[in-house]
Amino acid sequence: MFTRHLLLASAAALFALAAPMAHAARAVVINPAGGCGLADGNGNLVFTTDSKAVVTQNNNSNTMFQCQADVPPSASGSAARLDFASTGIFCGVYTSHGLDITEQWHETISASGKAMLICLVTGKP
Q: How far, in whole angstroms, is CA 103 from its chain's centroid?
A: 12
Question: Looking at residues 98-121, what average pLDDT do you find?
Answer: 93
More confident residue, 104 or 50: 104
More confident residue, 38 or 28: 38
Contacts of 15 (CB under 8 A, 6+ apart): 94
| pLDDT for position 15 | 34
Q: Where are the domains of the chain?
A: 7-121
Read off the pLDDT band of 109 (50, 70, 90).
very high
More confident residue, 60 or 106: 106
Read off the pLDDT band of 13 (50, 70, 90).
very low
**Listed residue (86, 87, 84, 122) closest to 105, CA to CA:** 84
Confidence (pTM): 0.73
Kindly provide the b/e burial profile for residues 36-74, where b requires at least 16 CB atoms within 10 angstroms of the residue's own CB: bbbbbbbeebeebeebebbbbbeeebebbbbbbbebebb
Read off the pLDDT band of 28 (50, 70, 90).
low
Question: Looking at residues 109-115, what average pLDDT do you find?
Answer: 96
> pLDDT tens digits for 33-46?
567 888 999 989 99
